Structure 1
């Protein structure tokens, strides 16, 4: 687990102050010239105690540590309050680039001037204007399992072509040098609606700029306050916790896959409107992904949840994995979903998704039918913005845990 390291500075032994040298010579002469006399009287030796001028270890650490910083976040996704992004700066002189801070990925990638028409809607980084830019001259591609919005991922409809590089990255005024990153050279059409330029991974293994700041003394945690657009003030705090943003105390749950890049918690139960089933009482590891808008569960779990809400929620054939119901029925449905977890002390607690999250808006091909928030995706159990917007969350990389408090 390379993100845990000894950050204490190594302090060299200082040279003694000059005044100590001036005292030592007369004392030496006395002890030499009068040795016989002193020995004959058997005097008690006079001891001069010397004290090091090295600063206490704690004080040195405080001087070296970086202070937490806060990045304002903007709300996005077609009015559904399920995606947030903020600015970082890259290069020398710095160029502002907006990114989603994504707990579901590890790396930094953003649009560059090498990306032509497919990046027309995004601000593009110009590597030729940065004196600290290093081109690694290697290319790769990445395909995402979840997309920007609430539509299902089909095949490779969320795919990026990348070129590896390195540069200085600044986040909230904190500077990390020689950060590994990827320039987007091409992207699929699904990214075209994005108002942001890229993705900054914030995985459970500190990498990139975050690892660089931790090495400089920043505490190894970050916090998310992702509010609905109507409330505003959403923010990311890197290296700290803003206790003014939540009520009560934080409840921490242990990462169920420590040592990996994944933020996952074990859930022993799901309940809907206070009811559950044997299938929903099955233990499962749930990914927590700030870069995903809604919820993904296996098909059987998704349909078991919907069965406890309404028999009128059915699969929407034109978009595999999605479900919907007549928009006119949405206000009549109770749909309180409780996701059960266990905290670091072994005590059960719930993260609750209220009925207001049930609909994520009408389908484009059927405006009278509203898409419901859970998509079926076999092999992946994941929660995103529809959960996180209701809690202040703390992502503690050093202690491998996630904390939640009501807002």
Structure 2
């Protein structure tokens, strides 16, 4: 999920730390090629992830604990955001989520400031319109644990109000895993673990529901979950206004074909908290034109497109996204034809929504790509790695 944070103290801009490369040792894992081995204070842990389904693969989430004694809180591990926020007993609208009770934690400290987050993308496939995905927050500090790794004094936010699109979520909040949120200068959970000696990387195996066994490995790489050797590409430099996992792409293709719009260079964000794909309107329509002229905009949900559901299975729709490795060689990440449909429209069940939403000014891929690739997110190396997921 991508968000804009507005605070009573003004805009909260998170500055990306410049992290010098360090040698790492991954216990029972494989260190990225080219790194030497050195024992660290903390070993990697693996966190099981559940799939929020609703007829299609929407979102993956897992448990963390907060407070003393610990209270279990299910959260989305979101590479498109920076901070940790979750439902609390201060939120009367959060009745469908597990709510953290700050009065029951002896280590809880109220931060005293309030803020709002307005999301640019959501956890479902419906488009975000205006401020319909918005959280009201109160700052705080408490102890946080994931997979047996514990971080005291973590900066976090309690949700005190949420808009209605969040009501169906089975998870309580979001743990941001953007590069700036993990950097050693940040005050978050992952940054605290890095300061304790955990390697500053994580890997994701987020699978279709039919496959299951999705997981997040914090501080390491699970070599049993992919085939071949991971290919790494350098992420784009970050700044105060750009803290995303972002790679430069020279071209897109559909079923091996391309055109002048799709061969335009672009920067693509990888967001584990967003379900489908967002491209500019001209790119979206250029892709759909190569799949079928019958894929049309849905005026009832601006930014979405669809086609008759009974035609979906007959349409070849392999979307290829080209990148360049750290060694200068090109490679493709593909989204298979099986991802073309994200389910029927509520207002017209005979028409199925297609996976790309038009969003001018944003180029982003989410779960529809990531669930077919094992992904490695390396802050120390300022790079991302991919290998075919073992499904």
Task: Tell me if TM exceeds 0.5.
Answer: yes
Give 2:265's aligned residue.
283
Distance across 2 between alignment mates of 1:373 and 1:210:
31
Give 2:205's aligned residue.
225
Query: Is the counterpart of residue 73 in structure 1 residue 49 in structure 2?
Result: yes
Give 2:351's aligned residue.
369
Give 1:311's aligned residue.
293
Cα contact 1:3–1:398 (8 A) shared by 2: no
RMSD of aligned C-alpha atoms?
1.6
C-alpha deviation, 1:5, in angstroms:
6.5
The within-5 A match list for 1:226-265 is 226-258=206-238, 260-265=242-247
Cα contact 1:7–1:215 (8 A) shared by 2: no
What TM-score do you get using the length of structure 2 for normalisation? Answer: 0.88
Q: Deviations over 1:101-129 (max 9, x none)?
A: 0000000000000001x111100000000
Instruction: Give the 3-state SS of the residue equivalent to 1:386 in structure 2.
Output: helix
Runs of 5+ unmatched residues, structure 2: 1-15, 24-35
Give 2:31's aligned residue.
none
Instruction: Give the 3-state SS of the residue equivalent to 1:217 in structure 2.
Output: coil
Distance 1:354 1:199, change over 3 A: same
What TM-score do you get using the length of structure 1 for normalisation? Answer: 0.85
Query: Is the counterpart of residue 4 in structure 1 residue 19 in structure 2?
Result: yes
Q: Deviations over 1:120-155 (max 9, x none)?
A: 110000000000000011101010000110000000
Which of 108, 125, 135 is 1:160 aligned to?
Answer: 135
Higher-helix-fraction structure: 1
C-alpha deviation, 1:258, in angstroms:
3.9
Cα contact 2:21–2:380 (8 A) shared by 1: no
Query: Is the counterpart of residue 93 in structure 1 residue 75 in structure 2?
Result: no
C-alpha deviation, 1:3, in angstroms:
6.4
Aligned length: 355
Distance across 2 between alignment mates of 1:113 and 1:167:
16
Give 1:27's aligned residue.
none
Distance 1:7 1:314, change over 3 A: closer
Cα contact 2:376–2:385 (8 A) shared by 1: yes
C-alpha deviation, 1:2, in angstroms:
3.2
Runs of 5+ unmatched residues, structure 1: 9-57
Cα contact 2:324–2:330 (8 A) shared by 1: yes
List structure 1 runs of 4+ shifted beyond 4 angstroms.
Answer: 5-8
Distance 1:243 1:7, change over 3 A: closer
Instruction: Give the 3-state SS of the residue equivalent to 2:224 in structure 1.
Output: helix
Larger radius of gyration: 1
